[in-house]
Structure 1
Amino acid sequence: MATKRISDEPAYVLHRYDWSESSLILEIFTRHHGRMALVAKGVKRPSSSFRPILLPLQPLHLAFGGDAEIKTLKAAEWQGGHVMPTGDALMSGLYLNELLLHLLAREDPHPLLFDVYASVVQIIASEHGEVLESALRAFELLLLREIGLLPLLDAQTMTLLALHPDERYTLVPEGGLRQASAADRTSLNGAQWMSLQQVLGERVPFVTVLRACAEVASALKPQLRTLLNYHCGVSTLRTRQMMVDLQSL
């Protein structure tokens, strides 16, 4: 059987780890084929042209092939556009990568999510730090929606009762969206949740979701973080813990 080869595929490196003395295994996110694993043979050699290219948060076009679960990298071209983020911006980018590694199944395409990821990476690498929090919340919402883990935000999940614009509701892992109680530290009012549901339904939603998140980012953050940790099966994601540890130094 002929070996299938994919060429000129838009992709980002999510993670890389040693495979042999001279080679790496790459976890990548591609536009048309989803999350995949590639072996990059000889890439650790000083003479390898791939060595300075195969870095996280860099837009790439890749060629790869093979019939095994782990494909073989054939070619890689950097698409330019921005330099490697540093500091808090870099940690934010690695946080996105960790979410994708935890939540995306192998070879399950999500082209819309790929485009959203590329847009958020551009923000992370730019000087527009004032919109970073909104961009992260927008990505989290769109990721959860794309993989079917976000409940509808215009009704209470367990009862299907409509939301009242002025009443408060909170998003919890096992119960979805429910009416907030006195014990809930964060919540949004019904009008805010319904606004988010409306923009999430747009054909190309990223910019409008980002704008909607700007008004509610601080209250949305802990609710989405708890929901994401629950579905990732962890109490705290590694990148989140690293950021907390660095801030405490």
Structure 2
Amino acid sequence: MGRPGGGLAVARRTSDEPSFVLHRYDWSESSLILEVFSRHHGRVALVAKGAKRPSSNFRPVLLPLQPLRLAFGGDAEIRTLKSAEWVGGQVMPTGDALLAGYHLNELLLRLLPRDDPHPRLFDAYATAVQVLASEHGEALEPALRAFELLLLREAGHLPSLDVQTLAMAPLQAQERYSLVPEAGLVAAAPDAERASLEGAQWLALQAALDDSAPFTATLRAAAGLQELKPQLRHLLHYHCGVSTLRTRQLMLDLQAL
């Protein structure tokens, strides 16, 4: 049916879109609903019709943590997947790296609204997944911290790391500061050394975030900063509205076996 004025309703069609599958769940006996992170459209929901059938071309391709090129169309909240092509070039992460990848996916699902493009964050995610798929285990923790910082910034939840948030006072290189959910970056309490960083370290992280290659620069700046992890964890839990993320609980359960 035509729109008022005689124009025809045209369904949007997207082709050759760089994407990753974040999550998938059953929609019917033969089909799946996919939560996808795409470079130019952000997080989108797609129905993959017939994807569960043994003969489906989708079946071996729609895997998490693998670079894909997708075509999809429609103007409804859940669009229809038309084609999916595996880009290749990397193996599936395993062990701790696989859990780390699921952690990144959960954060994207919780913190990004649908249809909100973040091409720089997509590029950072693609690089992070490459790190997870590599055999460089020492880069795992810095890669997670780098992506968490970039995601928080893109989602509007990260204050500037080169100034005290409430006081708007400059950081002193040798003094310690804590990143807390409701107040931003504040002078650390005397007993908060394990949940604080020196001013010089926060300044280095801010400079890395502002770099032309922010993921790589932030990964390097975050290396060895063990005190950064609990601060980012509390900030992420606060903005995700949970006390523990599902992937972290899974990790704790596996460690307890």
Which 5+ residue runs of structure 1 have no aligned equivalent? none
Report the counterpart of residue 219 of structure 2 in structure 1.
210
Provide, for residues 157-200 of structure 1, a one-character-per-residue CA deviation record: whole Å limited to 9, x for no partner. 11111111111100000010000002423210111111111111
Q: CA RMSD in A?
A: 0.8
> Residue 170 of structure 1: which of 162, 165, 178 is its match?
178
> Residue 117 of structure 1: which of 116, 120, 125 is its match?
125
Equivalent residue of 2:80, what SS?
A: strand
TM-score (norm 1): 0.98
2:251 maps to a residue whose letter is: M
Asked if 1:143 is matched to 2:151, the reply is yes
> Residue 248 of structure 1: which of 234, 244, 256 is its match?
256
Report the counterpart of residue 55 of structure 1 in structure 2.
63
Asked if 1:229 is matched to 2:237, the reply is yes
Alpha-carbon distance between aligned partners in 2 of 1:202 and 1:145, rounded to the nearest angstrom: 14
Equivalent residue of 2:20, what SS?
A: strand
State the 1:87 CA deviation: 1.5
Report the counterpart of residue 29 of structure 1 in structure 2.
37
Alpha-carbon distance between aligned partners in 2 of 1:148 and 1:227, rounded to the nearest angstrom: 12
1:153 maps to a residue whose letter is: L
Alpha-carbon distance between aligned partners in 1 of 2:28 and 2:48, rounded to the nearest angstrom: 10
Alpha-carbon distance between aligned partners in 2 of 1:100 and 1:183, rounded to the nearest angstrom: 33
Equivalent residue of 1:62, what SS?
A: strand
Equivalent residue of 1:25, what SS?
A: strand
Asked if 1:193 is matched to 2:207, the reply is no
Equivalent residue of 2:195, what SS?
A: coil
Report the counterpart of residue 49 of structure 2 in structure 1.
41
> Residue 82 of structure 2: which of 49, 55, 74 is its match?
74
Alpha-carbon distance between aligned partners in 1 of 2:113 and 2:191, rounded to the nearest angstrom: 35
Alpha-carbon distance between aligned partners in 1 of 2:103 and 2:197, rounded to the nearest angstrom: 24
State the 1:206 CA deviation: 1.3
Total equivalences in the alignment: 248
Asked if 1:15 is matched to 2:36, the reply is no
Equivalent residue of 1:137, what SS?
A: helix
Report which of the two structures shows the higher radius of gyration computed on alpha carbons.
Answer: 2
> Residue 88 of structure 1: which of 88, 96, 99 is its match?
96
Query: Once superposed, which parts of structure 1, at least 4 consecutive aligned residues long, lie more than 6 Å away?
Result: none
| Bigger shift: residues 156-165 or 10-19 | 156-165
Which 5+ residue runs of structure 2 have no aligned equivalent? 1-8
Alpha-carbon distance between aligned partners in 1 of 2:177 and 2:118, rounded to the nearest angstrom: 30
Provide, for residues 119-154 of structure 1, a one-character-per-residue CA deviation record: whole Å limited to 9, x for no partner. 010011111111110010000011111111100111
State the 1:215 CA deviation: 3.3
